Amino acid sequence: MKLLRRGGSDDSDKPEVSVPATPAEADVPQAASPKLTEGKGRPTPKRRDAEGKRRGPVAPAPLTAKEARARRKAARKSKSKDERKAESAQRRADASERRNRMLAGEEKFLLPRDRGPVRAYVRDIVDSRRNLVGLFMPLALVLIMTMFLGPVIQQYVTLAMFVMMLLMVIEGIYLGRMVNKKSRARFPESTDGGFGLGWYAFVRASQIRKLRAPLPRVKPGDAI
């Protein structure tokens, strides 16, 4: 930086004295030199051309089942046979995967009636017991088969079935009270209970073990 004296005298023959820049001046950025932007060489495309083919208005939902069937039929005709086979195979694979995850007990894929920790706890209680109610379906098949036998045998079988049904009702009442008591002790803040929870336990206990869904996680005799 040059230092000029007042009076306008010529100091060209004197050496220049450089003064270091102050911090404020050092922080001021230098003006960037303007850069020249090269042209694209082509006009800017319109939005309609850039987005491609515009979508038309969405068709309203079908009002009747007949109209819905007609639309599905038209959609099937618009696809090739290989595409329909691929979509069908994909749907079967997705359904099989959802069922396997439901049987495994994944909360996301369970039915609304089976969701929640309370229902899972009740299932474990039922699956850990050998329930007399589980003989309901086999006994019903036996009763149907005895209809083709003599009247004397039918009387004895009917009496035995009546006694078994009475015992099943008694066990169902006991099972419902037991699961409600244990569930309230394990989950005191839960509102799931009462007749609905007892009926849920009774229905699961009446099913054959291999046909229960979700599949049992415990074996008979395991401590819960």
Summarize pLDDT for 39-97 with one digit per residue, the tens. 556 667 666 555 555 555 666 776 688 777 887 777 777 777 788 788 888 989 999 99
Q: Is the pLDDT of residue 17 over 50?
A: no
More confident residue, 11 or 215: 215
Q: Is the pLDDT of residue 21 over 80?
A: no
**Interval 168-208: pLDDT, tens:** 889 999 999 999 999 999 999 988 889 999 999 999 998 88
Buried b (16+ CB within 10 A) or exposed e, 166-205: eebeebbeebbebbbeebeeeeeeeebbeeebbebbbebb
pLDDT of residue 121: 94
Q: What integer best gives the mean pLDDT of the chain?
A: 77
Q: What is the mean pLDDT of residues 87-110?
A: 90
pLDDT of residue 170: 92
Dihedral over Cα of 154, 157, 163, 166: its sign: negative
More confident residue, 141 or 37: 141
The closest alpha carbon to 162, from 141, 140, 195, 184, belongs to 140
pLDDT of residue 147: 73
Q: Do 125 and 133 contact (CB within 8 A), yes or no? A: no
pTM of the model: 0.60
More confident residue, 187 or 162: 187
End-to-end CA distance of the chain: 89
Q: Is the pLDDT of residue 122 over 90?
A: yes
